């Protein structure tokens, strides 16, 4: 299970183990598709899925099931799910689809609202607007719920599974330089991680990885007072920064993720872990 508040080039590097051009979705410099860790595992019989509290065709979910030289080619990205071996994708509708009144979906793929069909097959689940607004504006704990539902769905045949769950709006908060937004999204993410670790405590074969593809906003804590709850912070940017990001690992073979390494190493470490 990969949990991330996860620029396409960085997340493609995590997903495929290779560097790619900026804005590219899991393709090399010649536009050839690179298999993601999810695709490699699916070929080995694993069940796979991705979850996001952002657009389901945005970079982080997309790199695990699609290949595209330009990240904005959302319609092409979504269309590639039908040809992928991924079992489900869950997240927000892309803007073009919100305007498409006659969209019929794809043959053999269920298109659902908000909830995974635990008895169904390959499916796309679109979250409604109430589940995509910021936590500070009242979003319920949908990331935790869908992560748990995703695990239940993928594990129902007693096969190994790979699930990527993205707390997309931590990135949005960094771009907005909005401290309250950032804190509340991070706390929501933390609650999701807690549930994932509880699952790992019950399953000696489970590995949980928590990481990001980049930092956003350059948030720095300047001063704080624990008694009053006061904090003084500074944002140095409204974009992605080159700050190092942590990789936390818990559970089976988590020792493989010690040290400092390039983002491409995560792909190879994951495949080493599942041997």
Instruction: Output the tens digit of pLDDT for each of the chain's 275 residues.
Output: 555 444 445 789 999 999 999 899 999 989 999 999 999 999 999 999 999 999 999 999 999 999 999 999 999 999 999 999 999 999 999 999 988 877 778 999 999 999 999 999 999 999 999 999 999 999 999 999 999 999 999 999 999 999 999 999 999 999 999 999 999 999 999 999 999 999 999 999 999 999 999 999 999 999 999 999 899 999 999 999 999 999 999 999 999 999 999 999 999 999 999 98
Specify the number of domains making up the chain: 1
The answer to pTM > 0.75 is yes
Residue 231 within any structural domain of the chain: no
Distance CA 99, CA 171 (A): 25
Residue 189 within any structural domain of the chain: yes
Residue 209 within any structural domain of the chain: yes
Helix (H/G/I), strand (E/B), else coil: 106: coil
Here the contacts of 194-202 (C-beta below 8 Å, separation 24 or greater) are 195/144, 195/147, 195/148, 196/1, 196/3, 196/147, 196/165, 197/250, 199/1, 199/148, 199/151, 200/1, 200/250, 200/251, 200/252
Residue 228 within any structural domain of the chain: no
246 in Cβ contact with 201 (< 8 Å)? no
Range of the domain at 212: 2-216+245-273
Q: What is the CATH number of the domain that holds 118?
A: 3.40.720.10
């Amino acid at each position: 299970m990969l949990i991330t508040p996860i620029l396409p080039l960085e997340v493609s590097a995590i997903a495929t183990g290779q560097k790619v051009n900026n804005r590219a979705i899991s393709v090399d410099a010649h536009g050839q598709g690179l298999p993601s860790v999810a695709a490699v595992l699916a070929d080995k019989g694993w069940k796979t899925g991705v979850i996001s509290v952002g657009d389901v065709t945005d970079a982080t979910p997309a790199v695990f099931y699609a290949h595209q030289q330009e990240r904005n080619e959302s319609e092409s990205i979504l269309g590639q799910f039908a040809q992928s071996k991924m079992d489900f994708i869950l997240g927000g509708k892309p803007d073009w689809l919100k305007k498409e009144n006659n969209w019929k979906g794809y043959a053999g793929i269920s298109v659902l609202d908000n909830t995974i069909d635990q008895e169904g097959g390959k499916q796309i689940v679109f979250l409604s607007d109430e589940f995509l607004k910021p936590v500070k504006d009242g979003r319920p704990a949908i990331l935790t719920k869908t992560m748990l539902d995703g695990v239940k769905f993928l594990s129902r045949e007693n096969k190994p599974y790979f699930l990527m769950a993205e707390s997309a709006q931590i990135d949005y908060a960094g771009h907005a330089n909005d401290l309250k937004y950032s804190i509340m999204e991070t706390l929501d993410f933390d609650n999701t991680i807690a549930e994932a670790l509880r699952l790992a405590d019950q399953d000696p074969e489970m590995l949980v990885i928590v990481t990001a593809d980049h930092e956003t906003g350059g948030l720095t804590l300047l001063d704080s007072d624990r008694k009053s709850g006061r904090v003084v912070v500074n944002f140095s940017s409204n974009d992605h920064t080159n700050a190092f990001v942590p990789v936390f690992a818990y559970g089976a073979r988590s020792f493989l993720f010690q040290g400092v390494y390039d983002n491409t190493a995560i792909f190879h470490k994951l495949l080493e872990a599942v041997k």
